[in-house]
Amino acid sequence: MRRICLGIDPGLGRLGYGVAIEERSIIRAGEFGCITTEPGTPVEARILQIHEGLCPLIERTNPELLSVERLFFGKNSTTAENVFQVRGVVLFLAARHGIPVVQPKPSEVKLAVCGNGRAEKAQVQKMVFRILRLESVPRQDDAADALAIAVTGLAMSSFRMKTKSGD
């Protein structure tokens, strides 16, 4: 059985995306990268750019699952508001395309990928490199985070499927 999960690390200036493909218990990376928007551009135009970047990505990769990281509240409420708005676009697109969604917390992503819910960013990136057998660590942090979120989405959905079936 082959499963495809699109992982999203939401952000207004840079949204990371990564596709994890699981086949016969082996997980590999598909497409990954970032959608960037320019500071100083009106928020609504930036959100439209993100929407327009995600639509063809979803159509190209045809994921059965979308994993988007929950927002970790920081001190900057403007940043948090913008990320919430971007998450809204992501959730809307998932619903529009009929894609089930999982929403792991940052600590759950770190736990799933590193075995430690308090792992450092560099450790997460190194484990993504190893788990997905990449040629190199992704240069963009947000893309590496999105791949980790996708891997976590696959793990969380597998766990849910097993518990629903009584395994």
Active site residue 145: no
Catalytic residue among 9, 22, 108, 145: 9
CA atoms 40, 83, 147, 48: torsion sign: negative
- With cut-offs at 50, 70 and 90, classify the pLDDT of residue 1: confident
pLDDT tens for 21-51 read 999 989 999 999 999 999 999 999 999 999 9
For the residues 92-99, what does the mean pLDDT come to?
98
Active site residue 9: yes
Catalytic residue among 23, 44, 64, 69: 69
φ, ψ for residue 62, nearest 5 deg: 50, 60
Give me the pLDDT at residue 160, please: 56
Catalytic residue among 22, 108, 142, 145: 142
Domain count, the chain: 1
pLDDT above 90 coverage of the chain, percent = 83
Give me the pLDDT at residue 75, please: 65
Give me the torsion for CA of 112, 93, 89, 140, rounded to 10°: 50
Written as one string, the DSSP assignment of the chain is: -EEEEEEEE--SSEEEEEEEEEETTEEEEEEEEEEE--TTS-HHHHHHHHHHHHHHHHHHH--SEEEEPPPPP-S-HHHHHHHHHHHHHHHHHHHHTT--EE---HHHHHHHHHS-TT--HHHHHHHHHHHTT-SS--SSHHHHHHHHHHHHHHHHHHHHHHHHHT-
Give residue 124's domain range.
2-165
Give me the pLDDT at residue 73, please: 64
Give me the pLDDT at residue 162, please: 47
pLDDT tens for 9-20 read 999 999 999 999
Q: At what angle do helices 106-114 and 141-165 cross, to 10 degrees?
A: 80
CATH number (domain holding residue 105):
3.30.420.10
Cα gap 142→75, rounded to integer Å: 20
